Amino acid sequence: MSDRISLTIDGRQIEAEPGQTILEAAEEAGVYIPRLCWMKGLSAFGSCRVCTVRVNGRPQSACTQPAAPGMVVENDTQELRELRRSLIDMLFIEGNHFCMFCEKSGDCELQALAYRLGITAPQYPFMFPQRELDATHPEIFVDRNRCILCGRCVRASQELDGKHVFGFVGRGAGKKVAVNAESGLGGTDAAGDDEAVAACPTGSLLKKRVGFAVPVGQRRFDHQPIGSEIEQAQSEE
């Protein structure tokens, strides 16, 4: 196929379709680039920067940067692992992430990335911010203590559910996810089976009355690091 693009990632030659991002091309080639705000089926957002790679020496977010011929991409380097660790550390200390009683523990992408990076404690002091919990909806709740502002619920609600239930309000440290009703989530047309609920990488947006159904030891990230399904898919071929 003549229109395939050829590039290298960590010294390995891979191919990409025109228009594919570095992250997508890498995934197809069995190379996992860590990510949080990116999700298959949603538009790219480029906000978490966890997928930052070096492209011809320059830092770029792999989820937004299209693959181009001859690109030299660095992904799994000491420098980038440390950068990603810092980002994950900051997400932990700027929220209130109590994994020990969180229903999402073992299935949480933020926690799973920390596991994959071998983080035993964040390197920054904890902030313990005041955040709100909205349990007004009969089927789902929003716990902003666990929100990392990835915007996956915002995009999933717009792009997949066609509902516009969630949106960002505020700036900087005051930024948060708001819902499309003054009375809270219960006043919106959100439903428990919405893609927006499933899109949350942490325990910030959860379905009620289904927590802790999967026993410890059988959860998604109990034995296999996040991303290993992508790496294994390649090695089995």
Partner 1 sequence: MGKPRVATTSLCGCFGCHMSLLDIDERILSLVELVDFDRSPINDIKELSGPVDIGLVEGGCANEENVKVLQEFREHCRVLISVGDCAINGGIPAMRNMVPLRECFREAFLDGPTVVNPAGKIPDDEEIPLLLDRVYPCHEVVKVEYHLPGCPPSADTLWEALNALLEGRSLELPYELIKYD
> Helix (H, G, I), strand (E, B), or coil: what is residue 231?
helix
Q: Cα(130)–Cα(142) distance, rounded to whole angstroms?
A: 14
Q: Which of 100, 171, 213, 235 binds partner 1 (CB under 8 A)?
A: 100
Q: Least distance (Å) from partner 1 to the CB of residue 132?
A: 11
In the complex, least distance from residue 157 CB atom to partner 1, rounded to whole angstroms: 28
Question: Going by DSSP bridges, is the β-strand pair 5-9/72-74 parallel, antiparallel, or unpaired?
Answer: parallel
Which of 102, 150, 156, 165 is the binder for partner 1 (CB under 8 A)? 102
Query: Does residue number 213 form part of the binding site for partner 1 (CB under 8 A)?
Result: no
- Tally the residues of the chain: 237
Residue 180: name the closest of 189, 193, 170, 172 by CA. 189
Q: Is 105 in the site for partner 1 (CB under 8 A)?
A: yes
Neighbours of 81 (CB within 10 A): 15
Strands of 42-88 (E only): list them: 52-55, 58-61, 72-74
Residue 154 phi, psi (nearest 5): -60, -50
Is residue 225 part of the contact set for partner 1 (CB under 8 A)? yes
Q: Does 98 bind partner 1 (CB under 8 A)?
A: yes
For partner 1, give the closer residue by CB, 120 or 218: 120
Least distance (Å) between residue 98 CB and partner 1: 7
Answer for the pair 220, 112: CB distance below 8 angstroms, yes or no.
yes
How far is Cα 106 from Cα 219, in angstroms, rounded to an integer? 5
Residue ranges of E strands in 79-164: 133-134, 140-143
Minimum CB separation of residue 138 from partner 1 in Å reads: 25
Helix (H, G, I), strand (E, B) or coil at 4: coil
Rounded least distance, CB 156 to partner 1, Å? 26
Query: How far is Cα 161 from Cα 13, in angstroms, rounded to an integer?
Result: 38
Q: Closest distance between partner 1 and the C-beta of residue 99, in Å?
A: 4
Answer for which of 10, 159, 222, 231 binds partner 1 (CB under 8 A) is 222
Residue 232 phi/psi, 5-degree rounding, is: -75, -35
Taking CB under 8 A as the rule, which mask of x and - marks residues 116-145 in contact with partner 1?
x-xxxxx--xx-xxxx--------------
Instruction: Out of 58, 101, 213, 218, point to the residue binding partner 1 (CB under 8 A).
Output: 101
Count of residues in contact with partner 1, rule CB under 8 A = 29
Closest approach, Cβ 185 to partner 1, in A, equals: 21
Which residues in this chain contact partner 1 in the complex, by CB under 8 A? 92, 96-102, 105-106, 111, 114-116, 118-122, 125-126, 128-131, 216, 222-223, 225
